């Protein structure tokens, strides 16, 4: 597969100043649960940075919307396996180029269906050397059976300073299911605190978000 052919089906980003590796993002305004939470004060999605970024930067907005449109087109034309191959090609190509073997799903946006989750699992299976992290509010789309060992799924907490989601059944069924929460400066973090805010919003050498042995990561509210 050529690079030009691959990005016709959706484009990964080569990470950002904070995170290592690659990312894949879609329209944050298409979030199903997140769009509802964005309207409620005190929720983790109420001050969504991805939505703010899309409003500020038209090129970013267009890129995220194009990624979702291209995925939907592949789905409607029964070309989902081609979409999977495109993601595999781009992620592996960049990892080999940079020697950074980490990928984040949904730097912006979220799962749209169980079918999308299954497609992502296929990408993970075909990139066994890459560690994948998928943060999500869409627990209903998580099929715990067959989650690849190199994929860490983190179910996001809904309330700022709230407890992690009660996922006892899911947690018992898969060690790859973890959680994340958001806390303010006057509240104690639950589990492992993300220290990126102490490093100019940079992950540094920390890879806790991808680590399935870290059961909850707590992010300080901006």
124-145 pLDDT, tens digit per residue, is 999 999 999 999 999 999 987 8
Choose among 128, 131, 137: nearest CA to 157.
137
Q: Evaluate whether residue 47 is within a structural domain.
A: yes
pLDDT at 169 over 60: no
Q: Evaluate whether residue 210 is within a structural domain.
A: yes
Percent of the residues in the chain that have a pLDDT greater than 70, as a whole number: 93
pTM, to two decimals: 0.94
Choose among 109, 155, 105, 113: nearest CA to 130.
105
Q: Evaluate whether residue 3 is within a structural domain.
A: no
Owning domain of residue 205 = 11-220
Rounded distance between C-alpha atoms, residue 83 and residue 71, angstroms: 7
Rounded distance between C-alpha atoms, residue 148 and residue 160, angstroms: 30
Mean pLDDT of 162-166: 84
- Cα Rg of the chain, angstroms: 17
Sign of CA dihedral 144, 149, 151, 152: positive
Rounded distance between C-alpha atoms, residue 46 and residue 188, angstroms: 20
Beta bridge partners of 30: none
pLDDT at 188 over 60: yes
Q: Evaluate whether residue 24 is within a structural domain.
A: yes
The 3-class SS string of 102-132 reads: EEEECCCCCCCCHHHHHHHHHHHHCCCCCEE
* End-to-end C-alpha distance for the chain, whole angstroms: 40
Confidence of residue 17 (pLDDT cuts 50, 70, 90): low
pLDDT at residue number 53 = 95
C-alpha angle 75-115-83 in degrees, rounded to nearest 5: 45
Q: Evaluate whether residue 162 is within a structural domain.
A: yes
Q: Evaluate whether residue 5 is within a structural domain.
A: no
Instruction: Please give the helix or strand (H or E) that residue 92 lies within, else none.
Output: helix 80-98
What backbone torsions phi and psi does residue 156 show, to the nearest 5 degrees?
-80, 140
Helices of type H across the chain = 3-7, 32-37, 49-56, 58-76, 80-98, 114-125, 168-173
Q: Evaluate whether residue 6 is within a structural domain.
A: no
Mean pLDDT of 190-199: 93
Q: Evaluate whether residue 4 is within a structural domain.
A: no
More confident residue, 19 or 39: 39
pLDDT at residue number 175 = 82
Tallying the residues shown for the chain, one arrives at: 222
Domain total in the chain: 1
């Amino acid at each position: 597969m050529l690079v030009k052919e691959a990005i016709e089906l959706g484009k990964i980003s080569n990470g950002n100043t904070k995170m290592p590796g690659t990312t894949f993002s879609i329209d944050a305004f298409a979030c199903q649960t997140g769009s509802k939470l964005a309207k409620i004060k005190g929720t983790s999605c109420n001050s969504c940075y991805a939505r703010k970024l899309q409003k500020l930067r038209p090129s970013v907005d267009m890129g995220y919307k194009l990624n979702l449109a291209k995925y939907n087109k592949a789905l409607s034309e029964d070309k989902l396996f081609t979409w999977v191959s495109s993601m595999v090609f781009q992620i592996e190509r960049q990892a080999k180029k940079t020697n950074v073997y980490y990928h984040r799903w949904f730097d912006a946006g979220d799962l749209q269906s169980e079918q999308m989750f299954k497609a992502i699992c296929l990408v993970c299976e075909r990139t066994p050397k890459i560690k994948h992290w998928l943060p999500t509010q869409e627990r209903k789309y998580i099929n715990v059976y067959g989650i690849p060992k190199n994929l860490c799924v983190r179910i996001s907490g809904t309330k700022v300073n709230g407890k992690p989601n009660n996922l006892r059944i899911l947690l018992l069924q898969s060690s790859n299911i973890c959680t994340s929460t958001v806390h303010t400066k006057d509240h104690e973090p639950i589990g492992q605190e993300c220290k990126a805010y102490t490093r100019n919003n940079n992950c540094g050498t920390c890879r806790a978000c991808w680590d399935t042995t870290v059961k909850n990561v707590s992010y300080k509210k901006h």
